[in-house]
Amino acid sequence: MPKQADDVKEIEKRWRAFWEEQGTYRYDPNRGRDETFVVDTPPPTASGALHIGHVCSYTHTDLVVRYKRMRGFNIFYPMGWDDNGLPTERRVQNVFSVRCDPSLPYDPDLKLEFGREGDVLPISRSNFIELCDVVVTEDEKQFKDMFQRVALSVDWTHTYATIDRRSRYVSQWSFLKLIHKGEAVLREAPTMWDVDFQTAVAQAEVEDRDREGTYHRIRFSVEDTDDGVVIATTRPELLPACIAVVAHPDDSRYRELIGKTAITPLFGAPVPIMADESADPEKGTGILMVCTFGDAADVEKWREMGVPAREVIGRNGRILPAAWGSDHWETIDGEMARRHHDKITGLSVNQARKLIVELLAEAGALADDPDSSPEKVVRPVKFFEKGDRPLEFVVSRQWFIKVMDKKRELIEQGRKIQWHPEMFRKRYEDWVEGLNQDWGASRQRYFGVPIPVWYAIDGDGNVDHDTLLLPQKDDLPVDPSEQPPPGYEESQRGQPGGFAGDPDVFDTWATSSLTPVIPTGWPDDEKTFRNLYPNDLRPQAHEIIRTWAFTTITRSYLEDGSVPWHHAAISGFVLDPDRKKMSKSKGNAVLPTDVLDEYGSDAVRYWAGSARLGVDPAIDHNVYREGKRLITKIRNAARFVNGFGSVEGAPTNPLDRALIGRLQQTVDKVTTHWESWDHTAALETAESWFWSDFCDNYLELAKTRAYAGEASAISTLGRGLDAIVRMFAPFLPYVTEEVWHSIDPEASSVHLAPWPSAQEFSDGLDDGSFDVAVEVMTHIRKAKSEAKVSLKVPVEQLTVSGDKRRLDLLESVMDDIVTTANVRNRELTPTGSDDGLVVGVVLGEAEKKQ
């Protein structure tokens, strides 16, 4: 009887319990590095629901792991949870409708409901972190359920979370080592800043989005000229931050102006007009403002000029006050500048932009054509990938990990890794080559690993950021906002002569980049570490090559020059049936539970197994169905074969020998595919042998002999089934386990069985008899099909002519053909030629159907 869906669930549950009870997937710490296969499992971000893409890519990893396990490797397959960072904070804010206000005291009695609605409640940092823990614990439970359901053969006794004590310890210690080496440095510099999240963001977290802007044409006066110069800008609100004007040195329109001084309208600031290769004569008016700071080019130019910055945009995205007429706020008309600046102070960027344009118009400094609307332009604008408003450059103090001076070495490290597919190495290299700033590793967030640094406070009460107070290794992990540095008392916090804790946390990647060592006992347990590092396999998605892969390779290199893993297997991400990217907002995201309920885990894994590494697979219900059919077929074939009982022995019949020979070839091919990281080809090869050779042809031909109790046939059927189960085990862990135990109820798990070897089937011989038998059978079937009669209708006369070799082969398997196709008379005629077989079929009288 075909199994119903409920039965499938029952079966899955039963075998999960079996694996758990048997410890099937346990790592054995007593075996050495060379017989161990170590996976650097991606710790999924605990940010709500898993989607079907997770199932696909995690299954890819599990396929390899199961193959390696059957090859006899001791598997180290841990699971981590990436719970620190913004996604968790966001989720907490949404789930509990709260926001973190670090100035508030901890409220030990605070109790909030999951899914609380209503006004946003400000809560203390400690309360906030407690809620993060609640959310994370809940998510991890769901993730684990899902991963177990799809039968990831993870050793669940080895788990970690990127926020747990051990990860904080590793993360902080590794970072302190970088400080000591001078590879992690504190810098006050313009940094890309998200004004909503109010945190610095790294280059890797930035994305361009096309946004429409408006060119405003602003007239600057220039010494010794009547008309001045017209400068086009999409960001007029940065006018007070203008420190220079640049044009291309070859631009004849402006050549005469180079070296002169321009005066900004509204603020009367004298600024130099300079030549710069980066100015594009085609854009705008071809001459542009340099402001502190509109973009990275501004930052560069500002550094070159070596002048103080005029900061106008604050960390909250609003315009800062300015001291026009003093210090570096030079102006020819302080009163005017202050009056204008007062009007925009405190406004948002957008409000200020609008107002400045109005003020410019009033002052007659706008050169826009009054009869037509200003020119629009669509240009790329930088956003934090999780943010909604454009990034601004803000001067702040951040920790950086130095990578710019190591591009070549990091590319070299990438070449020591085998990438699957190979082309993704190129993507890694392109990213490294394109780096334009060091890795900004500090974040102004709350739920993360604290930066383990304090700063001394001098006698005047000023924080001295050059005097770092660092913890001892034994004290790690620390939280500088709650603990004093060594040699200080908590009472000295914030006092003259005391200390200040670094308020920031690490960028998520600063910790995630250590996943290859977090589960290895580094740096204290040398023996375990040596058994597990470098890892063998890093599976990951291609869109985070620039983040996770890059930062991990970087950290390993900085630590000891090592490469973190030998292989990187890159999965694509799953597209919806229309090949569109899935997203929750579009409502086309497919929930794994729905698919698993409908088709079962093995069928979903079959689908994942059909998707090649690195390509983006689409949801395809046909493939799920295909998987389901395969599962049913395996079950039915097993039932048939098991019906004959168990018989040992080498094949004595030529057809049996040929089948074993073909099985040997198949095992060989499948193994080769696995070794070249091509699970798709492995699956296809195994499937095609099973379906075509074993079921459609061999089973039919050998059936009669098996019913007659012939040992050779029964033994061959058994060996075929045994090999099939093992070859499919990595893909279909449940049904293969079930069938494995239907052969031998006392057996241990199929997932610990040895991978089939060509050696096992060396008593086979694919001499061509199988092909000949199939060829003749095809002719007979075709004749019957064309005559539209049942396959049981007898063949009155079968005539075959051809070369002697083939006829001899045919003769050796003729008995099976005769019984299978119901052949009454036959005539084999040797022709001497080698043109293949000529087959004639004369059908007998169809026995009348009743």
Partner RNA sequence: GGGCGGUUGGCUCAGCGGUAGAGCGCUGCCUUCACACGGCAGAGGUCACUGGUUCGAUCCCAGUACCGCCCACCA
Residues 389-408 that bind RNA (CB under 7 A): 390-393
| Residue 699 interacting with RNA (CB under 7 A) | yes
Phi, psi of 761 (to 5 degrees): -115, 30
> How far is the C-alpha of 198 from the C-alpha of 400, rounded, in Å?
18
> How far is the C-alpha of 635 from the C-alpha of 780, rounded, in Å?
29
Q: Indicate which single residue of 116, 141, 782, 824 sits in contact with RNA (rule: CB under 7 A).
A: 782
Interacting positions 622-641 with RNA (CB under 7 A): 622-623, 625-626, 628-629, 631-633, 636-637, 639-640
Contact 780, 824 (CB under 8 A): no
Q: Indicate which single residue of 100, 231, 394, 595 sits in contact with RNA (rule: CB under 7 A).
A: 231
Q: How far is the CB of 821 from RNA (least distance, A)?
A: 11
Q: Indicate which single residue of 361, 615, 747, 838 sits in contact with RNA (rule: CB under 7 A).
A: 615
| Residue 581 interacting with RNA (CB under 7 A) | yes
Backbone CA torsion sign across 211, 280, 290, 233: negative
Tokens 């698993």, residue? 596
Query: Would you give the binding string for RNA spanning residues 281-320, x where CB under 7 A is met?
Result: --xxxxxxx----xxxx-----------------------
> Of the two residues 377 and 650, which places its CB atom closer to RNA in the complex?
377
* Residue 247 β-bridge partners: 275, 287
Interacting positions 640-659 with RNA (CB under 7 A): 640, 643
- The CA-based diameter of the chain, rounded to the nearest angstrom, is 117
| Residue 695 interacting with RNA (CB under 7 A) | yes
SS3 800: strand
> Of the two residues 22 and 778, which places its CB atom closer to RNA in the complex?
778
> How far is the C-alpha of 458 from the C-alpha of 188, rounded, in Å?
19
> Of the two residues 77 and 694, which places its CB atom closer to RNA in the complex?
694
| Residue 106 interacting with RNA (CB under 7 A) | no
> Of the two residues 22 and 278, which places its CB atom closer to RNA in the complex?
278
Number of residues forming the site for RNA (CB under 7 A): 92
Q: How far is the CB of 45 from RNA (least distance, A)?
A: 16
> b/e for 191-219, b at 16 or more Cβ within 10 A?
bbbbbebebbbbbbbeeeeeeebbbbbbb
Q: State both tokens at 471.
A: 């913890």
Q: 819: buried, middle or exposed (CB in 10 Å: 19+, 13-18, 0-12)?
A: middle
**Could you write out the three-class secondary structure of 146-213?**
HHHHCCCCCCCCCEEECCCHHHHHHHHHHHHHHHHHCCEEEEEEEEEEECCCCEECCHHHEEEEEEEE
> Of the two residues 457 and 735, which places its CB atom closer to RNA in the complex?
735
Q: How far is the CB of 503 from RNA (least distance, A)?
A: 25
> Of the two residues 143 and 599, which places its CB atom closer to RNA in the complex?
599
Q: Indicate which single residue of 583, 762, 778, 829 sits in contact with RNA (rule: CB under 7 A).
A: 778
Contact 812, 784 (CB under 8 A): no
Interacting positions 540-559 with RNA (CB under 7 A): 542-543, 546
| Residue 763 interacting with RNA (CB under 7 A) | no
Q: Residue 647: which of 598, 548, 718 has the closest Cα?
A: 718
Q: Which stretch binds RNA (CB under 7 A): 140-148, 459-467, 614-622, 831-839?
A: 614-622
> Of the two residues 75 and 735, which places its CB atom closer to RNA in the complex?
735
Phi, psi of 372 (to 5 degrees): -130, 155
Query: Which region, left, alpha or beta, applies to residue 89 given φ > 0 means left and ψ of -120 to 50 means alpha?
Result: alpha
Distances (CA, A) of 640 to 217, 505, 658, 742: 83, 62, 21, 11
> Of the two residues 248 and 538, which places its CB atom closer to RNA in the complex?
248
> How far is the C-alpha of 754 from the C-alpha of 67, rounded, in Å?
10
Tell me how far apart the terminal alpha carbons of the chain are, to the nearest angstrom.
Answer: 28
Interacting positions 136-195 with RNA (CB under 7 A): none
Query: Would you give the binding string for RNA spanning residues 195-214, x where CB under 7 A is met?
Result: --------x--xxx--x-x-
Tokens 């086009």, residue? 232
Q: Residue 172: which of 442, 499, 405, 487 has the closest Cα?
A: 442
| Residue 380 interacting with RNA (CB under 7 A) | yes
Q: Indicate which single residue of 121, 186, 263, 377 sits in contact with RNA (rule: CB under 7 A).
A: 377
> Of the two residues 95 and 289, which places its CB atom closer to RNA in the complex?
289
Q: How far is the CB of 426 from RNA (least distance, A)?
A: 5
Q: Indicate which single residue of 311, 333, 684, 771 sits in contact with RNA (rule: CB under 7 A).
A: 684
Query: Would you give the binding string for RNA spanning residues 419-458, x where CB under 7 A is met?
Result: ----x--xx--xx--x-x----------------------
Q: How far is the CB of 433 from RNA (least distance, A)?
A: 8
| Residue 798 interacting with RNA (CB under 7 A) | no
